[in-house]
Structure 1
Amino acid sequence: MDKKMFLSWIEEGVVPIPSFLFTYYKKIGLTDLECMVLLHIYTFIKKGNDFPTHVEIAERMCISTEKCAQLIGSLVQRGYLQIINGKTADDIYFEKYSLQPLWSRLLDEHILNEKGEIQAQKKEDEGNVFTMFEQEFARPLSPIEIETITMWLDNDHHEPSLIKAALKEAVMSGKLNFRYIDRILFEWKKNGIKTVEQAQEHGRKFRIHQQQKRNLDEPRKRTDSIPFYNWLEN
């Protein structure tokens, strides 16, 4: 994810801020009151008031002006809110709030959360590979077989879905053994095949080629069998 681009989307209003803020404010260390103060400041800014007073903000909430000032001071000090000093072209000095520090923290938390979900999904997918092999072999895997699958995942960096596809190919070919599956994965990697769709297309083209060759070699022999690629003899 391009963080700079995402922050610009937030500033332009492309990303729905309230839901984004409500999802992560607790995780980045904000209290309910602090979140509400920031949301009101965001609303003021969107309506053209870049530096609402403590009184204006407190009037929208069930807190005193003093409490509002205390909360805003704490938010600035802890790096959730920034006060920017500037000068216009007419040499008029001004102050305004910037919520960029808040957006940056929220985005960091969002990215971290996404990475966690991706890692969890990856672990689940890898676990399913071992389960699928045990189901197809109708027995528990041996330590060597477990190590082989682990090497496919960790050393060769084959996607779990591609390993499952190679297993299915071996089952369809009637050659259910690890050496055959390893050869399939080796050939796919050599041919730059990285997805199940690419593997299926590769197999489809090969079978068409084999069927055409068989029809030429045996014009009088009719068969309903589907040819399969013998990966071990390639």
Structure 2
Amino acid sequence: MIFNELSNNQKKFIKSLKQSKSFRYKNKRFFIEGFRSVCEALNSDYKIDYIVVSKPFLNRFGDDFNQQVVSIRPDVKIFQATRQIYDEISDTVTPQGIMAVVEMKSFSNYTFLKKDFLIVALDMLADPGNMGTVIRTADAAAADAVIAGKGCVDVYNSKVLRSTMGSIFHLPIIFSDDLVSTLLYLKGQGGKVVTTHLDANRYYSEIDLTGPTILVMGKEDEGVSKEVSDIS
């Protein structure tokens, strides 16, 4: 099986996706890395522009992986890169040798929500690893969506995406420039707003989370803002 070589323009494009948030949003693209994340993308309804594999990966898994891609997404092209070039565009110390460029999806309304929805909302969450872990945990808990308020770390940051372990493709991520207004809207739709707090007088296990619920988590060192907390 012969794959086309990754072009210099593609190489520059991926580097820019890795380095620049504004470039990602201008082009509505992000890149993911690692076998599991790429497989999750292939099995989702996200549009994949192309996949890049290193020659060592190709030598080891090339034919089998190509057959897998063709069976799931016959329209997706695979490009190869030398180990040196792949290492240049990779964002990991010990890369697995596979990445993909993916188109962002927009979730601008809440028509997809179930009657008894569960949403996790994030207020100024700053750490990429924490953001990825929250998305992964929300996915495991069968949440219907994650809302990232203004000031949160970019969910398309490569460290965030790596930490989600593919969960980014399983549930909608909604961006809110005004989290208070968003929460008030959802509260008006029958949602119960529950905020986390270090000095709370009840544990999470004591809270009734049945029915429409929005669980709000705040910044690591400061918690949920007063404006958001006052809504709950």
- The TM tier, using the shorter chain, reads under 0.3
Q: Which has the higher strand share?
A: 2
Instruction: Decide which structure has the larger Cα Rg and report it.
Output: 1
Q: Which has the higher helix share?
A: 1
TM-score scaled by length of structure 1: 0.19
TM-score scaled by length of structure 2: 0.19
